[in-house]
């Protein structure tokens, strides 16, 4: 009799795990709380590092969603029960779904920039987040951010909600530096006369092609990088934003007027993941992301037999890394279902 796996979360991680398991002959049930699949991916426009359309990655993932996968959208999980090695997931409308293994792929949330009140997000119109800028790019292809005004000044603030003891997040979100560099280039493409300043603590361009993008941003596009932490943003009467920064290279305080301030918001663990983890007794780390049973050797297994993890519920990761992780998860689930090993 064929085995069944339930996957919770239909973002990149959940879709790829589902597609891979299905190709291995395992029946898959995919549960997504939203009305459509894709998770955060569907909000992004062009992806780093090569600036391909996010739709291309979504199309690949969607192709994997064939007949062997039962899809439950708009689904809220009210409980998870376990008996005799079988899991039963109970949905809010009373439906019960059962399986031999469970994969949590519930992803991450964006840091709520309102928590950094001193940056003025939610108070001043011209302070937006990197996620909102992606939405703008996605919906307004080729449109000038400032409707016809050519020469404008834009500030990009790194580490918003990450590496910040005050908000309780000591970890680095890993991908906001490269997102900021990508977005700076994209703004210059749309507005060749715009002046762009990135305010950073240190740049973490760790992955392949990232450092090259940073060079391109400086040499080809003239984007300026100022090492310093923003202390405050205040609105001027003309709705421009006055930013106060301490330049940590020169040691001098700096004041600058910008027309638009973009906050590079980080990843935070989602309360939904915490809720489901609580039902299953799963471990979370000091950073509140979930922990596998062995970071080196069993990165997708948990201490709970039959329960697996895939994607960014374990911490910040790119789409490429998430796809690799989802494939590893599928293999670990298949091994468990065939050989009982985790």
Interface ranges with ligand FAD (CB under 6 A): 8-14, 31-34, 39-41, 44, 47-48, 77, 105-108, 110, 130-131, 134, 175, 179, 272, 276, 311-312, 317-320, 322
Residue 70 pairs with which residues in a beta bridge? 29
Region binding ligand SF4 by CB under 6 A among candidate stretches 22-30, 36-44, 157-165, 271-279: 157-165
**Cβ neighbours of 21 (radius 10 Å):** 29
Which of ligand FAD, ligand SF4, none interacts with 177 (beta carbon under 5 to 8 A by kind)? ligand SF4
For ligand SF4, give the closer residue by CB, 22 or 318: 318
Task: Indicate which single residue of 8, 176, 329, 333 sits in contact with ligand SF4 (rule: CB under 6 A).
Answer: 176
For ligand FAD, give the closer residue by CB, 230 or 329: 329
Task: Give the span between the Cα atoms of 103 and 255, in whole angstroms.
Answer: 49
For ligand SF4, give the closer residue by CB, 207 or 303: 207
For ligand SF4, give the closer residue by CB, 173 or 301: 173
Please, what is the minimum distance in Å from the beta carbon of residue 254 to ligand SF4? Answer: 19
Task: Indicate which single residue of 40, 116, 152, 158 sits in contact with ligand SF4 (rule: CB under 6 A).
Answer: 158
Q: Is 30 a residue that touches ligand SF4 (CB under 6 A)?
A: no
Task: Indicate which single residue of 47, 103, 159, 307 sits in contact with ligand SF4 (rule: CB under 6 A).
Answer: 159
Q: Is 172 a residue that touches ligand SF4 (CB under 6 A)?
A: yes
Each residue 201-240 as x (binds ligand SF4 by CB under 6 A) or -, in order, gives ---x------------------------------------
Q: Is 182 a residue that touches ligand SF4 (CB under 6 A)?
A: no
SS (H, E, C) the chain: CCCEEEEECCCHHHHHHHHHHHHCCCEEEEECCCCCCCHHHHHCCEECCCCEEHHHHHHHHHHCCCCCEEEECCCCEEEEEEECCEEEEEECCCCEEEECEEEECCCEEECCHHHCHHHCCCCCCCEEEHHHHHHHHHHCCCCCCCCCCCCCEEEEEEEECCCEHHHCECCCCCCHHHHHHHHHHHHHHHCCCCEEEEEECCCCCCCCCHHHHHHHHHHCCCCEEEEEEEEEEEECCCCCEEEEEEECCCCCEEEEEECEEEEEECEEECHHHHHHHHHHCCCECCCCCECCCECCCECCECCCCCEEECCHHHCCCCHHHHHHHHHHHHHHHHHHHHHCCC
Which of ligand FAD, ligand SF4, none interacts with 9 (beta carbon under 5 to 8 A by kind)? ligand FAD
For ligand SF4, give the closer residue by CB, 183 or 270: 183
Task: Indicate which single residue of 102, 105, 264, 329 sits in contact with ligand SF4 (rule: CB under 6 A).
Answer: 264
**Cβ neighbours of 313 (radius 10 Å):** 27
Please, what is the minimum distance in Å from the beta carbon of residue 279 to ligand FAD? Answer: 10
Report the interface residues with ligand SF4, using CB under 6 A.
Answer: 158-159, 162-163, 172-177, 204, 264, 266
């Amino acid at each position: 009799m064929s085995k069944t796996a339930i996957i919770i979360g239909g973002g990149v991680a959940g879709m790829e795990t589902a597609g891979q398991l299905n190709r291995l002959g395992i029946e898959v049930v995919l549960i997504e709380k939203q009305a459509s699949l894709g998770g955060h991916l569907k909000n992004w426009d062009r992806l780093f590092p090569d600036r391909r359309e996010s739709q291309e990655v979504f199309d690949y993932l969607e192709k994997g969603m064939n007949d062997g996968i039962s899809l439950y959208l708009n689904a809220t999980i009210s409980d998870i029960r376990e008996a005799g090695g079988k899991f039963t997931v109970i949905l809010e409308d009373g439906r019960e779904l059962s399986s031999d293994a469970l994969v949590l792929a519930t992803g991450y949330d964006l840091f709520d920039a309102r928590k950094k009140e001193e940056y003025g997000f939610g108070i001043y119109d011209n302070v937006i987040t990197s996620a909102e800028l992606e939405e703008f790019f996605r919906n307004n292809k080729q449109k000038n951010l400032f409707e016809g005004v050519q020469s404008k000044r834009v500030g990009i603030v790194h580490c918003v909600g990450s590496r910040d003891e005050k908000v309780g997040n000591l970890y680095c979100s890993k991908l906001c530096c490269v997102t900021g560099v990508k977005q700076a280039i994209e703004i210059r493409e749309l507005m060749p006369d715009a002046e762009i300043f990135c305010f950073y603590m240190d740049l973490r361009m760790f992955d392949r092609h990232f450092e090259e993008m940073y060079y391109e941003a400086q040499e080809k596009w003239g984007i300026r990088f100022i090492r310093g932490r923003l202390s405050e943003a205040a609105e001027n009467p003309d709705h421009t934003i006055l930013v106060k920064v301490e330049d940590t290279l020169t040691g001098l305080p700096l004041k600058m007027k910008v027309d638009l301030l973009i906050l590079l918001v980080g990843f935070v663990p989602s309360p939904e993941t915490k809720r489901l983890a609580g039902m299953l007794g799963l471990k979370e780390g000091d950073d509140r992301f979930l922990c596998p049973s062995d970071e080196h050797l069993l990165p997708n297994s948990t201490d709970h037999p039959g329960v697996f993890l895939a994607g960014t519920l374990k911490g910040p990761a790119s789409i490429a890394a998430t796809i690799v992780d989802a494939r590893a998860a599928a293999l670990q689930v298949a091994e468990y279902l065939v050989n009982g090993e985790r």
